Amino acid sequence: MASRLNPGTLNDPAKNKRPMAKKPEAPQVPDYWEEAKAELMKRDRIMRKLIPQFGDLHLMRRGEPFVTLARSIVGQQISVKAAQSVWERLLEACPKMTPAAVQKLGIPKLQACGLSKRKAEYITDLAMHFRDGSVHEKDWSSMDDEAVIAELIQIRGIGRWTAEMFLIFNLLRPNILPLDDLGLLKGISINYFSGEPVSRSDAREVSANWEPWRTVATWYLWRSLDPVPVEY
């Protein structure tokens, strides 16, 4: 029985070659993560119990710096669930999520996604800073933590907490302790103080045992409150 295939196409690489689908960029895992886990479990009895509960889960970086900062602004002073809902609506309205696309969308349409007028203004201002080159995005990887924070807090709507979230979730810095983060303070309260309220001073004292891996310890305390990792 004759084959229906044209023999001339079977061994002709040029004719058989099809364009490869571009794979989505894999999220980046911090190269220090396993070392940090081992050190924290060795030094801290709470971490020794906490870390194994979350198996292979780890901090991951996704997205461009502008996206990380915009998402951090969305998440200011609202719950993780509410922030996720607003972010999803924002992505529907602005799928590319670039500074140019956000500026083109405009404040009224940003508000229609669930953002307050102030947050819509903040994100628009952030887009302007990225477009006019007044932030030194390409230099951040070589700048120390405090230098990056000092530059970011010059942008309207970005305070220290937002800058620290950027250091954690985009630059993957290993030793960030976001003392203004209510989740961190609650995690320390529940895991180290039997639910008693804790001060920033208490948090600093507990975290001294975590250095230079305070980011990692913070991430696991967040997971102790909500097992689903937050992404920025």
Spatial contact of 156 and 134, defined as CB atoms under 8 Å apart = no
Query: Which of 20-29, 86-95, 194-203 bottoms out in mean pLDDT, i.e. has the lowest?
Result: 20-29
Which position has the higher pLDDT, 36 or 81?
36
Checking if the pLDDT of 7 tops 60, the result is no
Spatial contact of 72 and 162, defined as CB atoms under 8 Å apart = yes
Query: How far, in whole angstroms, is CA 120 from its chain's centroid?
Result: 20
CB 40: neighbour CB atoms within 10 A? 21
Please report, in angstroms and rounded to a whole number, the separation of the first and last CA atoms in the chain: 59
Checking if the pLDDT of 10 tops 60, the result is no
Query: How confident is the model at residue 20, as a pLDDT?
Result: 42
Residue with tokens 């980046």: 28
In Å, what is the CA distance from 66 to each residue of 3, 115, 224? 56, 17, 29
Spatial contact of 220 and 184, defined as CB atoms under 8 Å apart = no
Residues with Cβ < 8 Å from 81, sequence gap 6 or more? none
Spatial contact of 163 and 153, defined as CB atoms under 8 Å apart = yes
Per-residue confidence band for 6, with pLDDT thresholds at 50, 70 and 90: very low
Residue 34, both tokens: 């396993």
pTM above 0.95, yes or no: no
Going from the N-terminus, what domains does the chain have, and what CATH number goes with each? 33-51+178-225 (1.10.1670), 65-169 (1.10.340.30)
What digits encode the pLDDT tens for the residues 59-117?
A: 988 679 999 999 999 988 888 889 999 999 999 999 999 999 999 999 999 999 999 99
Residues with Cβ < 8 Å from 78, sequence gap 6 or more? 86
**Which among 169, 220, 155, 159 is positioned nearest to 190, based on CA atoms?**
220
What digits encode the pLDDT tens for the residues 206-225?
A: 999 999 999 999 999 999 99
